[in-house]
Amino acid sequence: MAVKLMQGNEAIALGAVAAGCRFYAGYPITPSTEVAEVLSRELPKVGGKFIQMEDEIASMAAIIGASVGGLKSMTATSGPGFSLMQENIGYAAMTEIPCVVVDVQRLGPSTGQPTAASQGDVMQARWGTHGDHPIIALSPISVRQSFDLTIKAFDLSEKFRTPVILLTDEIIGHMREPVELPDFKTIRSEEYRVTAPGQEYIPFRNESGDVPPLANFGVGYRYHITGLYHDQVGFPTQRLDEIDPWLERVNTKLDKHLDEIALVEEDYQDGAKVALLSYGCSARTARHALKLARAQGKKVDMLTLFTIWPFPERQVEALGERVDRIIVPEMNLGQLAYEVERMAGRKKVRRVVRANGEMVTPQMVLEAMEG
């Protein structure tokens, strides 16, 4: 494909098509609307379905239903809609039905500022629904990565039977950059589902650390799906000897695979005592500051997180052992910084935050290195 100037949101939509997404249900909201706009045009061309729903609660319900029916499914929204989706995101986590939810973060809380950027949904992505459950959230830093991480989101969602949040922001979503996308035919996606009848099938088998494969509804297996705690075939249970193994399995099912899930980039220099740690649009600012500082001869480490959840604990803990100070620029009042503090110690972390819709500037990051 030729080089094209493209928005992050367009790249997400095309990434979804390339990943084999064939169902989209959503309710348009700034600054995510371009994802729906492009998919309403592109999905019918490949035999997919696009539905504009009455709201975000219904959108989330629709993609869960379509997914268990056998189609890779996605929705896209922003803060207010993401809040409405939370109940059903919990349902997808409880029933272990794969789906991808794109959240193009805008300034909140509430209606906030629809066209202004933010990274204020970091914690909502992790803890927005109730109860304990794993979740995966990925955060791209460029238009090209918006495409790549959308494909990754589908793969992780299918493989681990979990909702995956593509946590992008207004800057990356609306930004245009030149990109050259690969031929979609070259994008390989693995089949994790049970798509043929005739095998022994236990949809929620509680072997420790296991992800039992999902059988598409309608291929010949009878099982039950409920948001209640359920036994291995999906029927409601109140028995602790069935609840506890579920809790154990589901809440540890990502643990053995963290190296595959935790996507980070470590750009380290020997002897550095200061590090920058960032993600999404603010990682662009941090990298700008990093180059300016290094051009002045300073030694600085940079850790960019592309996976926000599960939090890359091992990498951040190791960084905390390397350096004396970790500067965390982000467009909220320090949501990711909480996690960095947890792994590296509160005294090492310096927040560089802005939550008024304006980007953190490279100057703010440079000042945090000095002071």
Partner 1 sequence: MTAKLSPRTEIRLAGEGGQGMILAGIILAEAAAIYDGKNAVQTQSYGPEARGGASKAEVVIASGEIDHPEVLNADVVVALSQEAFKKFASSVKPGGLLIVDEEKVDSTSAPQAIRIPVTKMAFETTGTVALGVLVGLTGVVSREAIEKAVTARAPRGTEEMNHKALDAGFTAAEKARK
Could you identify the residue written with the tokens 């539905």? 51
Taking CB under 8 A as the rule, does residue 359 contact partner 1?
yes
Taking CB under 8 A as the rule, does residue 106 contact partner 1?
no
Number of helices (H) and strands (E), helices first, in the chain?
13, 15
Closer residue to partner 1 (CB): 156 or 286: 286
Closer residue to partner 1 (CB): 171 or 323: 171
The torsion region of residue 297 among left (phi > 0), alpha (psi -120 to 50) and beta comes to left
Cα separations (Å) of 317 from 127, 300, 320? 22, 17, 5
Residue ranges in 67-86 that form contacts with partner 1 under rule CB under 8 A = none
Q: Which of 177, 210, 242, 267 binds partner 1 (CB under 8 A)?
A: 177
Per-residue contact flags (x/-) with partner 1 for residues 26 to 45, judged by CB under 8 A: ----x---------------
Q: Which of 101, 175, 250, 336 binds partner 1 (CB under 8 A)?
A: 175
Q: 199: helix, coil or strand?
A: coil
Could you identify the residue written with the tokens 């959108």? 59
Per-residue contact flags (x/-) with partner 1 for residues 226 to 265, judged by CB under 8 A: ----------------------------------------
Please answer whether residues 106 and 113 qualify as being in contact, where contact means their C-beta atoms are separated by less than 8 angstroms.
yes
Residue ranges in 109-128 that form contacts with partner 1 under rule CB under 8 A = 114-116
Closer residue to partner 1 (CB): 71 or 175: 175
Neighbours of 217 (CB within 10 A): 15
Q: Which of 85, 171, 262, 366 binds partner 1 (CB under 8 A)?
A: 171
Please answer whether residues 138 and 101 qualify as being in contact, where contact means their C-beta atoms are separated by less than 8 angstroms.
no
Alpha carbons 54 and 237: distance in angstroms, whole number: 33
Closer residue to partner 1 (CB): 207 or 358: 358
Taking CB under 8 A as the rule, does residue 49 contact partner 1?
no
Residue ranges in 266-305 that form contacts with partner 1 under rule CB under 8 A = 281, 284-285, 287-288, 291
Neighbours of 200 (CB within 10 A): 5
Closer residue to partner 1 (CB): 178 or 236: 178
CA nearest neighbour of 89 among 69, 59, 113, 120:
59
Q: 184: helix, coil or strand?
A: helix
Q: Which span sits near partner 1 by CB under 8 A: 168-176, 187-195, 201-209, 254-262?
A: 168-176
Closer residue to partner 1 (CB): 281 or 340: 281
Taking CB under 8 A as the rule, does residue 174 contact partner 1?
yes
Alpha carbons 57 and 88: distance in angstroms, whole number: 7
Taking CB under 8 A as the rule, does residue 362 contact partner 1?
yes
Closer residue to partner 1 (CB): 187 or 364: 364
> What DSSP string describes 220-282?
S------SS-B-TTS-B---HHHHHHHHHHHHHTTGGGHHHH--EEEE--TT--EEEEE-HHH
Closer residue to partner 1 (CB): 176 or 273: 176
Please answer whether residues 278 and 329 qualify as being in contact, where contact means their C-beta atoms are separated by less than 8 angstroms.
yes
Q: Which of 178, 182, 197, 218 binds partner 1 (CB under 8 A)?
A: 178
Residue 250 CB, nearest distance to partner 1 (Å)?
A: 39
Closer residue to partner 1 (CB): 5 or 333: 5
Type of residue at 214: L
- Interacting residue ranges for partner 1, rule: CB under 8 A: 3-5, 30, 114-116, 171, 174-178, 281, 284-285, 287-288, 291, 359, 361-363
